[in-house]
Chains A and B, each alone.
Chain A
Amino acid sequence: MRAWLQAFWARLRVLLRPPRTLKVTRTGRTYLVVTFGVGLGALNTGNNLLYLVLGLLLSMVVVSGVLSERCLRHLRIRRLGIESAFAGEPFAFRWALTRRQGHAFALTVAEADAPLTGEGRVGFLREGVEHVVRADLTAPSRGPLRLSGVRVTTTWPLGLFAKTRVFELEGTLLVYPRRGYACQLPGDSRQGHFGDASTPRRNDGTGDVAGLRELGPTEDARRVHWRKSAAMGKLLKVEREREERRTYVLTVDGGLSGDALERRCEEVAAISHELLETGNEVGLETLGEQLRPAGGPTQERRILRALAWVGFEALREKQKEQEEAA
């Protein structure tokens, strides 16, 4: 019911939105106050020169409106892809702007009706040339974010008013869980033959020696190089190829919701990142999706994407249906 109401409210807002919105800037407020003062002076004294100045001030307001309107017309905009968007940290977002007729100046581009902060700026948009605008946006929370349109604002020509036009452009931005440190240890790894593992002796420590590094917490003390450790005065571990390459399957319980779910998703993302960085294979089990263990950055991207959809399974199904129908 609540989701339906939210969707209805969003649709109503789009329907009731005026074609252009106008906001007076700080300079504009001062300008209007001075114009009002000059108008009062002209009315009080009947001074024709004050009437002339007043006429000029008012006509500049009109000119400002006309020129800014011309700036926002004949504009075409599309979204370009993004690498990855993590909640709570800036990510690069790009739009491509084209203007069919005439130049445009001082444009500010942002996503409309979306909880994204940040905006891109274009000083000068030439006629007929596609201009890619980059912005550092920040999403407050994880999950799929519905994008309904792009808001283009200009303060051209005098910086007195900020005129805004929203271009209807549907899209979805998938925001990954917030990046952080893993506070919990991963569960026990799975041993032996599993999945696509290529060797049955995966934890034997018999690969070629890759180097020495300090022994970390929870690491196996049997891999300590005692002679070198005695020489250096600290515990050093022998690193080998395929050293301790374990397989983990992380889970997000289906009963979680709200902050607990968010925390768990962030934790799983952090653990999987750490495990994958150290060469392990990681799988994921959530309510709506199961990922088989694998390694590498692609697997990390799959895990993050799966985590982003946790809690939004119904929406995902709906989107899949729409995509299939299309």
Chain B
Amino acid sequence: MSAPSRLRLLLRDLSAGAAFGAMAVSGQLPAWTLALFGLAWVCALLGWRPFASRTVTAVLLLGAAGVLGFFAARGFLDPVVASCSFAGLLAAHRMLSIPDVRTDGQVLLTSLLMVAGGAALSGDMLFAVFLVAFCVCASMAMALAVVEATVPEGEPLPVRAVVRPLSVGLSFAVLAAAAFFLLFPRLSWNMAPRRTSPGLGATTGLSETVRLGGTGTLKSNPRVVLRAHLTPDPRAEQLGAYWLAHTYDTFDGQEWTSIGTSRRRRTQVTLRPGGERSVHQRIELLPAYGAQTLVALETPTRMGNAVAHGEGGSRRTSLVLLGGGEVRFTENALAYSYEATSLPPDEDASTQLTEPEQGQLLALPDRLDPRVAELAAQVLGGEKEPLAAARKLSAWLQSEYEYTLELGGEVDDPLADFLFVRKAGHCEHFATALTIMLRTQGISTRLASGFFGGERSNEDYILRAGDAHAWTHVLVPGRGFVTLDATPPANRSSQSMAALQLLTGLYEALESSWRSSVIEFSLRDQLAVAERLVRPPRDPGRSSARLPPARIWGVALLAGLLTYALWRVLSRRLSEPRPHSATRLVDTVERLLREAGVRPREGEALEELTARLVREQHSLAEPLAPLTRRYLEARFGQRPLAPGEADRLLTPLRSYLEARRAAASSARPRHTSS
């Protein structure tokens, strides 16, 4: 196989890889299809194509299609996801087959289908990267195939010459696609809408329960999940605040849940009375959040004005209040924005609790290890005042236990394992230990989950997935719930690297632009763009009926005419054929000879003049002969003049002519004086 063919096949396979990547970023493809395609892709890139027998391999492909069909029919797999997976497997099969024109076409066609599938499955910004990569590689592969089909065998393929016009064309295509995207009216029949997916974005996954165990990889995830604008602005670089999402009052030894029933939907939820010093928050939950629970600064009083942002644009959504003070959106979407107000932590008002809810704040697991209560009593030493006891126990936990994200996995009694065996754990272990140990001493407590931190970003504060946290609410008579955190202070916020956080911040900014300008672009935005084009924003101090004075029109016309004239002159000058460097050299030589009084005969070319001078053994032949020889080489011998070579060649001739001129001028005075 020739080198150009290898390049074409490489581009073809790269385009197939990019198309599959456009689907894979949705995170919805089955893992085994990812593995199979990846294996096939690597083999194809290495040039190993073992699928010579179409029949046998087609049976394998049919089997894979059957498995996907079965999963789709039984409801285990979305039909669109199954179709996309099959397109990926088909492309993999074709990539491993013996390459020919038909196979190439099939690979590119399935790749195109995969790109379309990726558009249907994913809203991630990485899709755009893969889309551009696919366009570039597929266009190059197709163009090389077209040229290769017409170039006779054995002749070189003009790869470089192909790249230039094609890259210009591709740039034009991208611009045209952007124009189409901007201007084509957004119409939607909505006959078979699909649920949108946040792709690789969903990271936090706040759920209705908190289960102890597992590892704490979330803590090192730097993706931004929440952006909030606070009024009044605290003006602090690190906010260090608790952002509440959910509270839990029931622990069964393994996981936390909460009692309480959901209430009816409404556009605004009031949790408790507010106050004059309430902090207003304009919060945006990004796709990386991946849950429907609202988050607000502790202690939230009111939440509302929620807007869900999805593929079809933005729309208002209602909220529902669940048990444990959790407020949820009723619609599933990629991202949300809403408003919330919270009281400062030191001004917590008493929360309205029902009788069962109050009782649940003292409930203990049925099979609680008796050593827990003994340990709590031992540490507290008879302290009965709730806040003092909680602070004492919290300080003891922070000093005696280590924070770690590496745990052994599932155990029967995670609390006892933390307190008496491993003596190390993450925030959920610390918070659970404090909550349960206080309950053993008759102090009402509950577990709270959400985020801790708040990093300044321009005028807003952002929270990362790694800021997810759990802490304890202690019910203090007369003050209500007071926040107590048993986790060591250094380990409460995100544990990711600073450089990674910076990169992630850049990515999040780009993704935010992508989401607002592409994913959520709607008919309303199009109308706004059209309105801005037709009727630009008015200057309030100036009437639109007032046109510029006539002199402005005249100046504009003159400027236009001048620009046009300049353009004509420049374009004419630039399009003029430039004289060959050798021609310039011979022009200079002829000028020098003319100045020196050496005149060639009628129709005598430079080479003929030089030949004549050599025959006549003229002294001018010596500097002129090498110059003439080099001119002929440069003009007709395909050996162009190097930069500065013309000057070097002319130097001996100039010296000779100057010497001759000097001799002539010195001879003239003598002649006149005599």
List residues of A whose CB falls within 8 A of some B CB.
26-27, 30-31, 34, 37-38, 41, 43-56, 58-60, 62-64, 66-67, 70, 102-103, 105-108, 121-124, 155-159
Contact = CB atoms under 8 A, between A and B. Distances in A.
Contact of A45 (B131, B143, B190): B190
A66 B119 contact: no
A156 B143 contact: yes
B387 interface: no
Nearest to A53: B119
A34 B143 contact: no
Nearest to A46: B188
B14 interface: no
B155 A123 contact: yes
A47 B119 contact: yes
Contacts of A26: 105
A177 B573 CA distance: 57
Nearest to B180: A55
User: Chain A: interface secondary structure?
Assistant: helix
A104 to B, nearest CB: 10
A51 to B, nearest CB: 6
B192 A44 contact: yes
B121 to A, nearest CB: 9
Contact of A52 (B112, B169, B177): B177
B123 interface: yes
B162 A53 contact: no
B177 A158 contact: no
Nearest to A107: B150
Given A52-B181, A52-B518, A59-B176, A44 B189 contact: yes
A30 B146 contact: no
A234 B193 CA distance: 93
Interface string B124-137: 00011001000100
Contacts of B520: 48
Nearest to A67: B169
Contacts of A60: 135, 139, 173
B116 A43 contact: no
A102 to B, nearest CB: 8
B119 A50 contact: yes
Contact of B109 (A30, A47, A157): A30
Contacts of B131: 52-53, 56
Interface residues of B, number: 61
Contacts of B145: 159
The 9 A-B pairs of least Cβ separation, nearest first, read A123-B151, A46-B188, A55-B180, A59-B176, A49-B119, A55-B177, A121-B150, A56-B177, A124-B158
B186 interface: yes
B191 interface: yes
B503 to A, nearest CB: 24
B653 to A, nearest CB: 33
Contacts of A102: 165
29 contacts: A37-B116, A38-B116, A41-B116, A41-B120, A45-B194, A46-B312, A48-B519, A48-B521, A49-B118, A49-B119, A49-B127, A49-B518, A52-B119, A55-B178, A55-B180, A55-B181, A56-B174, A58-B180, A63-B169, A63-B176, A103-B158, A103-B161, A105-B162, A106-B147, A123-B147, A123-B158, A124-B157, A157-B142, A158-B142
Could you say which of A30, A44, A53 has the most chain B C-beta atoms within 10 Å of its C-beta?
A: A53
Nearest to B194: A45
Given A51-B184, A56-B173, A34 B147 contact: no
A41 B83 CA distance: 14
A232 B526 CA distance: 100
Given A46-B186, A123-B152, A158 B146 contact: yes
Given A46-B311, A55-B177, A27 B105 contact: yes
Contact of A46 (B143, B173, B181, B190): B190
Nearest to B116: A38
Nearest to A158: B142
B170 interface: yes
B187 interface: yes
Contact of A50 (B113, B116, B169): B116
A155 to B, nearest CB: 5
Contacts of A41: 116, 120
Contacts of A44: 188-192
Interface string B515-552: 00011110000000000000000000000000000000
B46 interface: no
B139 A157 contact: yes
B193 A45 contact: yes
B149 interface: yes
B78 interface: no
B149 A106 contact: yes
A181 B105 CA distance: 47
A62 to B, nearest CB: 6
Contact of A159 (B112, B146, B192): B146
A47 B109 CA distance: 21
A63 B109 contact: no
Contact of A106 (B112, B146, B152, B186): B146
B193 A157 contact: no
B169 A123 contact: no
Contacts of A63: 169-170, 172-173, 176
Contact of A158 (B109, B139, B151, B155): B139
A44 B311 CA distance: 13
A105 B150 CA distance: 9
B166 interface: yes
Contacts of B193: 45-46
A131 to B, nearest CB: 11
A97 B518 CA distance: 47
B115 interface: yes
B116 A45 contact: no
Contact of A59 (B109, B120, B172, B187): B172
Contacts of A70: 165
